Structure 1
Amino acid sequence: MQRRKFISNTIKATSLISMTGYSALGMGNVNFLKKDLFFKISLAQWSFHNALRAGKMDNLDFAEKARSFNCEGLEYVNQFFMDKAKNKKYLSEMNNRASSEGVENVLIMIDREGQLADVDSNKRIQAINNHHKWIDAAHFLGCHSIRVNLGGGVDKNEATKAALDSLQQLSDYSKGSGINILVENHGGFSSDGLWLSNIMKNVDRENCGTLPDFGNFCTQKNIDRECIEEYDKYKGFAEILPFAKGISAKATAFDQMGNETTIDYVKMMKMVKDSGYTGFVGIEFSTARDSEEKGVQLTRDLLVRAASNL
């Protein structure tokens, strides 16, 4: 019945699209539906990585952009203010922008700070130390978490030991500031749901959890970065969901009915709801070709439409 209802609503939405364009699924409809949602919506800054990298959008404009899509939370990416982690004046302005727009700073996604599952202890210690400033920045911004990557592993057993050591050290460092250390399924061993769930079962830190992503379950890519081995996304998502302190709603392409072409959003959101999760779900549209504005809007509308039929 839920799926039939979803299909019926999707058909209605498609009719609106055909008559008036994508704007028919705009703010007014989302506001109407949001009253029954069991979660809050945040916007992942990566959704606008093309605009940010091209200089068409500035990191400080992110809060205003998120509010324009009616999002309640901000998920930053450290790449877009890489040299500002210790700049309190700059971070204060980020706080001011968020406050003026009435949005909440949720987390910072950390990249390019070293491999936390590297078997080389010297490299791993450096990576751990590199993350400390971002934990401090997240605390200053009022975020609840940082997202880290467990890259650098070659052998699964060795990567497990290294990952546990890194996560325990980071969790211990961040405990006093109330910042959670979240691992995303983000390639390599971390995209193996069983491997990552076992990490979580053994890390033994309350402030360490996961940021399950609807996509990102590719465990091996070729030289052209095309996925050649993929873990079942629904199985993997279910395995790491019990440890979630955030959710990332990935989307890359849509069909004419406004549905993501590779991910069943109803199935994903049903798992989220059944798990009892009620925190932020972050919109993360990722493409190199299509309009980021339109992609974020379509992802938001699909997320709301799918969840409203559960």
Structure 2
Amino acid sequence: MNDEQRWCYPVAAAKDLGASPLPVTLFDEDLVLWRDETGTPHAFTDRCPHRGTRLSLGAVRVVDGRAQLECPYHGWRFDGDGRCLHIPALPDFMPAAGHAARSHPLREANGLLWVVPDGDATACLPDPGPVPGRAVVCGPYDVATSAPRVVENFLDTSHFAFVHEGWLGDRGHTEVPAYDVVLGADGAPGVPHYRAWQPQASAQSAAGAWVDYRYQVLSPCSALLVKQVGDDAQATQEAYALWVVPLEPERSRVWFTLFTGDAATPEATLRAFQHGIFAQDRPVLESQRPRRLPLSGGEAHCAADRLSAAYRRYLQTQGFTYGTC
């Protein structure tokens, strides 16, 4: 099993999984999500063990008060652990362990459904730590580049004045001040303090302001940005968590969870701001070559890139190679 498959990844918004099976993709593998009679979500490899049919084309059937995922081809039914409970062609047959569907641990957190590809139920979710209480899920955004390219772009501040001019930066403030990179206990890099001028720091901003940033890499495919506007230590903070799903080595799905103390601004307004920011990032990300993040040289660096360089070293120490070169 590859090292990168021991992490948790968000594959769908929790609200999008209803009464019908939901097909998703992770690491170029097709999965199916479904909920049982208690509302508990489950994840299987999207392949019936009988003849390889997509289980996502089937249905959730409730039999004797118990929800089961039914294959559309021959009607085999599976419980939440993947055990085959019934084969209609042999109604008196007790299916053996070899008739089971392959299940994966699935958890619900931060408005998303998270899967561990390698089946390790003890794998930890990326933890954003203390954040404001209101959570707004933004996305998904599909982008034709590798997951590490997306994370590195999120950690990069020197593109603000050019890619996000008038929003997160302007050409009168292009200099990147010196900042310190601090490694966490697991070697994940972060920047405890970074100060920048932004013409519109958030969806609620009506004017420019100095913004204090705190960056933290949470896992190879996730990171957190905490913002505090102005010099008031009591000012409302916002935190943006980036969650990237590696669909293929050069294709990713991107989610954000916005954590905010603002209870008044409509969710649609908050999402529109994040949508506008990522719409500016996407064409730049998809233009980068190679699409896979180079870990062994081939790209020039400067002092403003120290967090990006630390992130690349972190991927190497974690043995994360998917979407890198």
Q: TM-score range by the shorter chain?
A: under 0.3
TM-score of the aligned structures, taking structure 2 as reference length: 0.23
TM-score of the aligned structures, taking structure 1 as reference length: 0.24
Q: Which has the larger share of helix?
A: 1
Q: Which has the larger share of strand?
A: 2
Which entry has the higher C-alpha Rg, 1 or 2?
A: 2
